[in-house]
């Protein structure tokens, strides 16, 4: 599933939010409080709301709070990539919603899938932000703003007339990139050579246009709870509590991100420090890191990649490029 490039985006300046919080418990949830602005009970309340809504309608609503957009540079790219990576919403009707909140950056966004936007339009989403969420954020009421906005979305989508149906075929996401787009930067021969030698990393081809994304090599590793995450980070040489983002792993610059149960390692810009481009130097960095993964005993079948994302040049979507 791909998020619409015309999804509503409103960046709101809000007051700094001071709210005592606790870390996410690692349980299966539609709420990912990476910024730690919610209590455990508040997370559970939002998650229960979203799960009850999914049971009634099959719509999927997720919420993430974050203090950084890394390796993305803005909330638009971050929400687009997160939405696509998680595959929010059913593939056949694209009925997903992602709420992104960043108190540190004083921005929030409601992002919708192609099917959802036909019902929850830009104008309606903007009104929910303005009337339900912004006033609470300005008063320092983080949870109340997220709760009121989430309830407004749920109540609107549960009205019988707002049932999300299968999108018209012309509006469905592209199944694959065209050869012209896929091989515009690197030749088909080069891409096939990369794919034949990589066992952990995926080649990620930028969607381009309004998506404001870039090419990269990315590896994904699932983890089971906080202890497992800390163990993996320790094996990579990242001390507990040191934070994520741009790190030096075994002598290589890598952007490390946590996507609620999945650890992502991204490589780009080794040759010219351009985070939107990859080169042969990035590929060689991937090969070097993959040797380390093997030494650590990380199972090649233990990673979790975004195989339903058109940008991920996986064997599932582009089998003709693999040996």
How far apart, in whole angstroms, are the C-alpha atoms of residue 41 and residue 44?
5
pLDDT for the residue 27: 35
pLDDT at 187 over 90: yes
20-24, 123-127, 221-225, 303-307 — which is least confidently predicted?
A: 20-24
Task: For the full predicted model, state whether its pTM sits above 0.75.
Answer: no
pLDDT at 176 over 60: yes
77-91, 108-122, 304-318 — which is least confidently predicted?
A: 304-318
At residue 47, the 3 state secondary structure works out as helix
pLDDT for the residue 35: 92
Higher-pLDDT residue of 211 and 142 is 142
Q: Which two tokens stand for residue 226?
A: 């906080």
Residue 160: is it exposed, middle or buried by C-beta count within 10 angstroms (0-12/13-18/19+)?
Answer: exposed
Rounded to 5 degrees, what are φ and ψ at 291?
A: -65, -40
How far apart, in whole angstroms, are the C-alpha atoms of residue 168 and residue 11?
30
- Most confident range (mean pLDDT) of 20-29, 110-119, 252-261, 295-304 is 110-119
Q: What is the DSSP letter of 308?
A: T
**Mean per-residue pLDDT, 1-14:** 38
pLDDT for the residue 5: 37
How far apart, in whole angstroms, are the C-alpha atoms of residue 112 and residue 118?
9
Residue 70: is it exposed, middle or buried by C-beta count within 10 angstroms (0-12/13-18/19+)?
Answer: middle
At residue 258, the 3 state secondary structure works out as strand
Start-end of H helices in the chain: 40-57, 75-86, 122-128, 134-138, 142-157, 179-182, 188-197, 225-235, 280-296
Domain residue spans of the chain:
31-162, 179-321
CATH fold label, 31-162: Diaminopimelate Epimerase; Chain A, domain 1 (3.10.310)
Q: Which two tokens stand for residue 136?
A: 């609470």
Tens-place pLDDT, residues 114-128: 889 889 998 899 899
């Amino acid at each position: 599933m791909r998020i619409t490039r015309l999804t509503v985006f409103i960046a709101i300046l809000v007051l700094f939010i001071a709210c005592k919080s606790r870390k996410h418990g690692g349980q299966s949830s539609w709420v990912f409080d990476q910024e730690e602005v919610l209590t455990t009970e508040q997370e559970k309340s939002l998650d229960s709301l979203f799960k009850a809504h999914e049971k009634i309608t099959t719509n999927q609503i997720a919420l993430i709070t974050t203090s950084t957009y890394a390796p993305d540079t803005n909330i638009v790219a971050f929400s687009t990539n997160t939405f696509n990576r998680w595959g929010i919403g059913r593939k056949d009707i694209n009925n997903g919603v992602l709420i992104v909140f960043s108190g540190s950056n004083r921005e929030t966004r409601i992002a919708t899938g192609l099917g959802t936007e036909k019902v929850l339009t830009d104008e309606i989403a903007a009104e929910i932000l303005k009337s339900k969420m912004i006033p609470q954020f300005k008063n320092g009421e983080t949870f109340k703003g997220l709760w009121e906005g989430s309830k407004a979305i749920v109540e609107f989508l549960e009205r019988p007339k707002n049932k999300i149906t299968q999108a018209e075929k012309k509006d469905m996401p592209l199944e694959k990139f065209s050869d012209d787009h896929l091989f515009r930067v690197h030749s088909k021969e080069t891409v096939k050579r990369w794919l034949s030698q990589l066992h952990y990393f995926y080649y990620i081809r930028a969607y381009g246009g309004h998506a404001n994304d870039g090419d990269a090599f990315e590896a994904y590793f699932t983890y089971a709870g906080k202890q497992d995450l800390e163990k993996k980070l320790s094996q990579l040489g990242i001390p507990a509590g040191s934070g994520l983002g741009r790190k030096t792993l075994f002598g290589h610059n890598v952007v490390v991100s946590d996507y609620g149960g999945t650890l992502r390692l991204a490589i780009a810009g080794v040759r010219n420090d351009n985070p939107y481009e990859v080169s042969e130097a990035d590929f060689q960095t991937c090969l070097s890191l993959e040797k380390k993964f093997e030494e650590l005993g990380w199972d090649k079948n233990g990673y979790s990649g975004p195989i339903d994302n058109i940008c991920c040049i996986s064997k599932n979507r582009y089998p003709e490029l693999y040996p």
